[in-house]
Structure 1
Amino acid sequence: MSLQTRTVFRQLWRQRLFTLLNVLGLAISISACWVIYRIVSYEYSFDDPLPQKAHVYRIVTGLIFDEKETYNGGVSAPLYQGIREQVTGVDRVVPVFGQWVNSVEIPGPKPVVIEEFKGVVATDATYFAMVPYTWLAGNAATAFSAPENVVLTESRAKSYFGSLKPEAIIGRVLLYNGKDQRTVAGVVKDLDYPTEFTAKEFFVLSPKTYKLAEWTNTNGSDRVYLHIRNLADTGRVLAQISSIAKQKWDENTRESGLPIMVKRWFKLLRLEDSHFSTYVREREVRKVSKPVMRGLIGLGALLIILACINYINLSTALVPQRSRSIGVRKILGSNSGHLIRQILTETFVIVLLAVGCSFLLTKLAYSFLGDIIPDGMHEHAGGWGILYFLALLLAGITLLSGGYPAWLMSKIKPIGLVQGQSAVQLSGGSRMGLRKVLIVFQFVIAQVFIVGALIMGSQLNYTLKKDMGFDKEAVVLVNVPWKLQRDSLYRNRHFVLAEELRKEAGIQGVSVGWAPMSNTYASSMFEYRGAEVKDPARRQLFKKYVDTAYIRLYNMQLVAGRNLRPADTTNEYVINEAAVRALGFSSPQEALGKLIGQLSGPRYPVVGVVKDFHQQDFHTSIDPVALMAEKSDAVTLNIKLNSADPGKWQQILKTAEQKWYGIYPSGSFSYKFYDETLAAMYKQERNQSRLVNLAMIIAIIISCLGLFGLAVLIAFQRTKEIGIRKVLGATVAGIAQMLMSDFIKLIFIALIIASPIAWWAMDRWLEDFVYRIKIEWWMFVLAGAMATIIAMLTVSFQAIRAALANPVKSLRPV
């Protein structure tokens, strides 16, 4: 070991408290930055290996529904044929149509039936030209030569046929939905990279003649991809697609004679942007927001900057103590370059130790973050990217953290030793202006995060506690599985079950109908043609299929009229106040008895009006809604438990399960408490809040470490002053208060700077909520009080220790 290396480790050991604080501060920030890098690199790696990815586009459908703009990830099914036949400038048109499969039977001596699974699409050979798979058996040309063929991925083939080799699977027969027989014609290896092409089974999409009306439909599971060689042609390609669709739309309007109240258009979405297209509505497709990813990158950079600032503060706090030894070394011949190298080497060793510690902290972070970590991230190793990232981080932090302390120590003038200057004078003065600025910066960031955590927590609490227009407490939802709904043996049996459950003492009520607020909904264009109106009033209304117990169970308030009467099909409506206004009625009472209905459908009277209630989350305004009876579409049991005796809920649910299995087969019972379902709707907001809370904790810890270093420095520099004050009669409390007053000023300055920044950031975040809290003054006062208390607790130990020091020792000549 060289002399310089021994000197470095000797110095680190001599100042082991500061070494530990530096390692801890850097390790916390590095581990946070590491986790962020893993998340961001994973999300940005979707479909990277795809050849000519930049030339692949998706067609998405834009719609204006009820004066609201939205995008659907699907298209009209016939559109791909029209593009192939009429659009120029497109090299490849790839349809990927989702298929509904209820069950798959694997024939054999003992047939095996697998139920309710996903990942089945219908496509053609162009798909495998766009997305290159490794064929383990068969090939694209032969696999799509017959309409009854099916191609399986390796994982799906193993789930069906176990350890059979791919070659042995070719020719095997599968029975879909109990009637659709298909022959395995190919097996491909699963894609080993993050991708939106997640299908596991591929049916053959055979050309067919579509009805004219199908050109006006939009199915979210029917995707169409285009390969456009010349990217400059995208505008012209889009114009041709729009022209074809408009022509078919107009033809259907003339043929049907019905006006279509929906405005529709198309957009070419780059495949590179597809994973980030959160504005496109698609079921069961995980997407992420680019602004959120950029925010994570900024958060990682900010935490690293905070750690570097912390290191600089702690390192410069040691300058007065090291100035005499550095001055002696300069007198003995060491030059500035040698000192700078030594300080940077010390910094490198500390950063290296911090990187090692961050391995453990990263593991802890993964367990803490839980569902914030994207699925599949751990399987995505990242290759050399992680090593490059860590190397860049190591070098960057070493230079950022060690550069200023190294420069500062190299400026110590050895002549001061001869002149009898103090250690503080040797180190360049005692104003500490830069260090105070850095401390203020740290606490500005910390207070922004504190305010953010308070406001986010308040908004999330508001969304769950605010009156939603219905009573969600003690309600359990039980859905009838789709397979049982379609099975004639069990059809409408849930109404029998509802009657049985109503007899239980611990159940206050049972309603069969759609939940008031959910992520799924149905809507139709309704109109009112009254003699007193010149033109018919038309408006898109949400539809909810309910029974007569629904309004009472959810404690909805009837502001006019009466409840629905028992019926198997719709023959009257109860609407909300928003629907009253949307259809042009001046009051709920005026709406009673008026005939409304869906376009081209029968009209039925409005018999009641309920007070407005939320149908979707708080990002969306309350929309017009119509409650109606439709027995065939009401498939959810809404069970109201006795809220006065929650201790018996589990026993009641066990009884409900036993009654369920008296009607339905075993293994099909599943329930959810409705308030938990509503809370799950705000998963993204909760995750953002958790990240802000974590960032707040990290920022506070790092800021406090910096404060501790500054407190040590101030106590060291004011040692003689403290001794003189004690000799003159100053109390310990008075001296401690004097030392802490400087920090209170810094915290106050930080609060003044942080408040407008935090207000602006949180106001922007709250803009996404139609129903939101107000940003109150007390939130900033509370944030300032929290920061002040934390800071005082951090520096009080050092301040009291300095105040208790023996003044004789502090006044002894140096």
Structure 2
Amino acid sequence: MLKNYLRTSLRHLWRKRLFTALNILGLAIGISSCWIIYRIIQHEFSYDAQLPHKESIYKVVSAFGSGDKMGGISAPLYQGIREEIPGLDHVVPLFYQWINAVEIKRETKTDFIKDDPQQIAATDRAYFEMLPYTWLAGSKASALNTPESVVLTASRAQEYFPGTPPEDILHKTITYFGRDTVQRTVTGIVADYYRPSEFTAQEFLTLPEKTFEKYMWTNTNGSDKLYLQFRAGANVTAILDQINKLDQRHWKAFGEERGSPIKRGKSYELLPLKDIHFATDVSDYGVRKTSKAVLYGLVGIGVFLLILACINYINMSVAQIPQRGREIGVRKTLGSNRWHLIGQFLLETFLTTLFSSILASAFILLGFWIVSDIIPEGLTPYSSPRLFLTFTLSLTLLITLLAGLYPSWLITRVKTTSVFKNFFSGASATRRFSLQKVLIVFQFVIALIFIVSTIIVSTQLRHTLKADMGFNKEAIVLVDVPWKYQNNPRYKDKQFTLLNQLRNLPGIEHIALGSAPLSSGYSSSPFELISDKKDPAGIQVFKKWIDTAYLSMYQMELLAGRNLHHSDTTNEFIINETAAKAFGFKSPQEAVGKMMRQSGNSAFSIVGVVKDFHSQDFYTSIEPLALMSDKQNLLTFNIKLNTRNPSQWQATLKTIKKQWGNIYPPDAFQYHFYDETLESLYIQERQLAKLINLATAITILISCLGLFGLATLTAFQRTKEIGIRKVLGATISGIITMLSKDFIQLICLAFLIASPIAWWCMNKWLEDFIYRVDIEWWMFAVAGLSTVCIALLTVSFQAIKAAIANPVDSLRNE
């Protein structure tokens, strides 16, 4: 019997090749989308999943008064916690290091030199006590006992000493070039740690024990990280309170040492290890983050696409039932019961889904290529053939049940007597309500939500990139002096020599040295306003270093006072409007001439107040800011190219590179256009926009396939009605309007349902932006009109075909 069912199913699928192809296409898109999303979700939630005792490990995070959070800490904090706070198994500092280059002497080959090595951290034994590294050579107990020690991962060891067994690498010497040149001896080799992970260091230096000066408690370094492993039963909240009291006590001691109190500008929070990867509100050096809300959104998109594919199959299958009436009648006459009919149809559904799964394998490769910039690094389409087979087989069975049960049940309702009278009413599309219509409405509700989301997300992205940021960013090129040359005596102050040479080049309108106005990096410190009051007024102020040409080049407006004078060191400040208001000045003019100082430093005059500009992304409000001059921090060239002749930009850049080569090594010349840098700050938003655009396109495609199926059903069932109307004088346009009217009503109903849902979802998303666009009526109007147009194009094929048919052909069979 099964063999007969299989043969019959294959014959039917082949006979209805168009519908079969459309069904396979829709289901293949749904299955491939689900697998790609599953792979991304599986990867993102697997961060440090294999780490034992991960529930007891926390990361210390700095929280500033402005609301910003950073994954770095004050360097002395780990020492204070170790000395004073009980209840912890391990206190683990991990301070990432800046190294210019490493060198390994080789006896038989050319010496190995690597510039700008990454993932080098200073730590101690506690790190390897907390994390379960496998030791290939050396001992965990003694590997970092001496200041000259270094431990390598297996991959880094093979890079430095290719083909050498781990035991033979021990006692090898590596030379590190940085602020100082030091030699270290390899004392341990560990296997590469589980990936993906928060812990990405590849090279571990001994963290030296030293006594920190009191002012170091007020500094925060984003590359200095601290992890705490709590003992069983420890009170996390109580220990966090002790940490903050410890820190506050040292801030107070520093204030007493310098003779005036200092307001504590930050506090500490504890972030569970399982949440670190998803803490997008915490800026973290060298750590990749993912929004959990985006991942849940991806899950929702995958579920919706799968449901839409099933809806598409149901509608297409129901559309064919009237044409299968005689086949069903004959089967029932020859003795087939309802379970035989259901089994036959479910087998057809299973085969269709199985063919879809095969096609989905190709779509998965295509999908990974299309969204390659969203796929996490190192993630491949197929990690395990067994996992993929299990996933697709499970999905195939699920789809078979979801998509096949209703049409198969509908088939059993066909009455044999009605079939042979050429009458079928099992799935009338002319009823006021039917499941097919409900499903079509549901499909277009989802499609409209995606379309509205696409419009709002793209509008917000354009706003963040095109809005007035308080400075002119057009045709700006940034070139950084590589940090490995910044402290090299050979290149001391060479940026000023190059600056003077570039000023005279044709094609350059303006040039200045200084920090970019808006960037992902920032530096802040407590600043005090010197006044007649007993206690100086203090606030947290962000800092940027500029030269005298900076304000003019970026066209920043001075509201009061003057520009900075040329100086080798800081001796005066320009502050922004927000800083002036935070200090309590009633007007910008009132701030000019007042004295302020960074905590612990000499006081200098405020010489100007600049109009507010954005120094951080649009998620962050404009904060108090001070502009100052200090030549040792002027390490970025801000070059404005000739805006009247963009065709010559590349020639100008080549000339700049040539001049650069006269001062610095030519290969150190790396430029980037500032507008591209600003776009990179919103990479997560652009990825979200791409996902929504892709989901919208897939949703519309699948929805239109389902609409095509319902249009086919309607045209078939109303063939004789159309013939009679034409005989009685109905026009082709009138018939097309009649057939399309019902579908337009469905789209309008979907629009009424989708609009409030889309408004709520997008309003919640926009809440994260301090500077956001308004949700306006035209966004919904565009979504509704575009959906109606798409639906009309889909339905018009069947409508026109039915309208131009010869009425004689349709009435002859009556």
Q: TM-score, normalised to structure 2's length?
A: 0.95
SS of residue in 2 equivalent to 1:737: helix
Decide whether aligned partners of structure 1 residues 711 and 203 sit closer, same or farther in structure 2, where only a CA change above 3 A counts: same
Q: How far has the Cα of 1:540 moved from its partner?
A: 2.3
Decide whether aligned partners of structure 1 residues 91 and 585 sit closer, same or farther in structure 2, where only a CA change above 3 A counts: closer
Query: What does 1:731-742 align with in structure 2 at a 5 Å threshold?
Result: 731-742=731-742
Decide whether aligned partners of structure 1 residues 207 and 578 sit closer, same or farther in structure 2, where only a CA change above 3 A counts: closer
Q: How far has the Cα of 1:627 moved from its partner?
A: 1.9
Query: Partners of 1:607 and 1:234 in 2: how far apart?
Result: 47
Question: Partner of 2:698 in structure 1?
Answer: 698
Question: Partner of 2:48 in structure 1?
Answer: 47
SS of residue in 2 equivalent to 1:538: strand
Moved more, 135-144 or 453-462: 135-144
SS of residue in 1 equivalent to 2:453: helix
Query: Partners of 2:341 and 2:31 in 1: how far apart?
Result: 27
In the alignment, is residue 104 of structure 1 matched against residue 105 of structure 2?
no
Query: What does 1:118-197 align with in structure 2 at a 5 Å threshold?
Result: 118-177=118-177, 179-197=181-199
Letter in 1 for 2:559: V
Moved more, 361-370 or 794-803: 361-370
Decide whether aligned partners of structure 1 residues 114 and 241 sit closer, same or farther in structure 2, where only a CA change above 3 A counts: same
Decide whether aligned partners of structure 1 residues 539 and 217 sit closer, same or farther in structure 2, where only a CA change above 3 A counts: closer
Query: What does 1:351-362 align with in structure 2 at a 5 Å threshold?
Result: 351-362=353-364
SS of residue in 2 equivalent to 1:2: helix
Contact 2:251–2:264, Cα closer than 8 Å, also in 1: no
SS of residue in 2 equivalent to 1:606: strand
Question: Partner of 2:445 in structure 1?
Answer: 444
Letter in 2 for 1:107: K
**RMSD value, Cα:** 2.2
SS of residue in 2 equivalent to 1:517: coil
Question: Partner of 2:577 in structure 1?
Answer: 577
Q: How far has the Cα of 1:693 moved from its partner?
A: 0.5
Query: Partners of 1:332 and 1:345 in 2: how far apart?
Result: 20
Query: What does 1:551-590 align with in structure 2 at a 5 Å threshold?
Result: 551-590=551-590
Of 305, 314, 319 in structure 2, the residue corresponding to residue 312 of structure 1 is 314
SS of residue in 2 equivalent to 1:619: coil
In the alignment, is residue 390 of structure 1 matched against residue 392 of structure 2?
yes
Query: Partners of 1:379 and 1:731 in 2: how far apart?
Result: 54
Query: What does 1:802-813 align with in structure 2 at a 5 Å threshold?
Result: 802-813=802-813
Contact 2:63–2:266, Cα closer than 8 Å, also in 1: yes
Question: Partner of 2:6 in structure 1?
Answer: 5
Q: How far has the Cα of 1:236 moved from its partner?
A: 4.3
Question: Partner of 1:58 in structure 2?
Answer: 58
SS of residue in 2 equivalent to 1:489: helix
SS of residue in 2 equivalent to 1:505: coil
In the alignment, is residue 74 of structure 1 matched against residue 72 of structure 2?
yes
Moved more, 365-374 or 722-731: 365-374
Moved more, 250-259 or 429-438: 250-259
Moved more, 209-218 or 145-154: 209-218
Letter in 2 for 1:272: K
Q: How far has the Cα of 1:6 moved from its partner?
A: 0.3
Query: Partners of 1:621 and 1:152 in 2: how far apart?
Result: 42
1:392-431: CA deviation from partner (whole Å, max 9, x where unpaired): 211211111111111111222224346x250x22557852
Q: How far has the Cα of 1:244 moved from its partner?
A: 4.1
Query: Partners of 2:582 and 2:217 in 1: how far apart?
Result: 29
Decide whether aligned partners of structure 1 residues 626 and 81 sit closer, same or farther in structure 2, where only a CA change above 3 A counts: closer
Q: How far has the Cα of 1:111 moved from its partner?
A: 3.4
Decide whether aligned partners of structure 1 residues 785 and 421 sit closer, same or farther in structure 2, where only a CA change above 3 A counts: same
Give unmatched runs, 5+ long, in structure 2: none
Letter in 1 for 2:350: F
Letter in 2 for 1:275: H
User: How many residues were matched structurally?
Assistant: 808
Moved more, 128-137 or 784-793: 128-137
Query: Partners of 2:321 and 2:478 in 1: how far apart?
Result: 66
Question: Partner of 1:460 in structure 2?
Answer: 461
Question: Partner of 1:435 in structure 2?
Answer: 436
Contact 1:324–1:426, Cα closer than 8 Å, also in 2: no
Query: What does 1:672-687 align with in structure 2 at a 5 Å threshold?
Result: 672-687=672-687
1:460-516: CA deviation from partner (whole Å, max 9, x where unpaired): 111211121111111111100001111011011111111111111211111011111
Query: Partners of 1:742 and 1:380 in 2: how far apart?
Result: 44
Question: Partner of 1:508 in structure 2?
Answer: 509
Contact 2:578–2:612, Cα closer than 8 Å, also in 1: yes
Query: Partners of 1:33 and 1:265 in 2: how far apart?
Result: 42
Q: How far has the Cα of 1:246 moved from its partner?
A: 4.3
Query: Partners of 1:626 and 1:297 in 2: how far apart?
Result: 44
Contact 1:59–1:74, Cα closer than 8 Å, also in 2: no
Query: Partners of 2:249 and 2:347 in 1: how far apart?
Result: 72
SS of residue in 1 equivalent to 2:648: helix
Question: Partner of 1:657 in structure 2?
Answer: 657
Contact 1:323–1:426, Cα closer than 8 Å, also in 2: no
Query: Partners of 1:233 and 1:383 in 2: how far apart?
Result: 45
Decide whether aligned partners of structure 1 residues 535 and 196 sit closer, same or farther in structure 2, where only a CA change above 3 A counts: closer
Of 376, 379, 387 in structure 2, the residue corresponding to residue 377 of structure 1 is 379
Contact 1:42–1:380, Cα closer than 8 Å, also in 2: no
Decide whether aligned partners of structure 1 residues 257 and 392 sit closer, same or farther in structure 2, where only a CA change above 3 A counts: farther
SS of residue in 1 equivalent to 2:601: coil
Q: How far has the Cα of 1:247 moved from its partner?
A: 4.4
Contact 1:193–1:380, Cα closer than 8 Å, also in 2: no
Query: Partners of 1:642 and 1:402 in 2: how far apart?
Result: 65
Decide whether aligned partners of structure 1 residues 552 and 220 sit closer, same or farther in structure 2, where only a CA change above 3 A counts: closer
Q: How far has the Cα of 1:720 moved from its partner?
A: 0.8
Query: Partners of 2:428 and 2:443 in 1: how far apart?
Result: 24
Contact 2:170–2:186, Cα closer than 8 Å, also in 1: yes
Identical-residue share of aligned pairs (%): 52
Query: Partners of 2:73 and 2:168 in 1: how far apart?
Result: 38
Query: Partners of 2:541 and 2:206 in 1: how far apart?
Result: 38
Decide whether aligned partners of structure 1 residues 641 and 284 sit closer, same or farther in structure 2, where only a CA change above 3 A counts: same
Moved more, 777-786 or 607-616: 607-616
Moved more, 654-663 or 324-333: 324-333
Contact 1:96–1:223, Cα closer than 8 Å, also in 2: yes
Moved more, 755-764 or 586-595: 586-595
Query: Partners of 1:467 and 1:333 in 2: how far apart?
Result: 77
Letter in 2 for 1:196: E
Q: How far has the Cα of 1:384 moved from its partner?
A: 4.8
Question: Partner of 1:762 in structure 2?
Answer: 762
Contact 1:58–1:270, Cα closer than 8 Å, also in 2: yes
Letter in 1 for 2:206: V
Query: Partners of 1:156 and 1:117 in 2: how far apart?
Result: 10
1:589-631: CA deviation from partner (whole Å, max 9, x where unpaired): 2222222332333333333222221111111222222222111
Query: What does 1:337-376 align with in structure 2 at a 5 Å threshold?
Result: 337-376=339-378
Q: How far has the Cα of 1:661 moved from its partner?
A: 0.5
Query: Partners of 1:505 and 1:247 in 2: how far apart?
Result: 57
Query: Partners of 1:215 and 1:579 in 2: how far apart?
Result: 24
Write out the 4+ residue segments of structure 1 that deviate beyond 6 Å after TM superposition.
none
Query: Partners of 2:58 and 2:257 in 1: how far apart?
Result: 30
Decide whether aligned partners of structure 1 residues 597 and 223 sit closer, same or farther in structure 2, where only a CA change above 3 A counts: closer
SS of residue in 2 equivalent to 1:193: coil
Contact 2:364–2:381, Cα closer than 8 Å, also in 1: no
Question: Partner of 2:500 in structure 1?
Answer: 499
SS of residue in 1 equivalent to 2:512: strand
SS of residue in 1 equivalent to 2:10: helix
Question: Partner of 2:272 in structure 1?
Answer: 270
Q: How far has the Cα of 1:64 moved from its partner?
A: 3.1
Letter in 2 for 1:225: Y
Letter in 2 for 1:538: G
Decide whether aligned partners of structure 1 residues 265 and 554 sit closer, same or farther in structure 2, where only a CA change above 3 A counts: closer
Q: TM-score, normalised to structure 1's length?
A: 0.95
SS of residue in 2 equivalent to 1:811: helix
Query: Partners of 1:84 and 1:540 in 2: how far apart?
Result: 29
1:226-268: CA deviation from partner (whole Å, max 9, x where unpaired): 3335256434444444454444444444444442322544333
In the alignment, is residue 279 of structure 1 matched against residue 277 of structure 2?
no
Query: Partners of 1:590 and 1:648 in 2: how far apart?
Result: 46
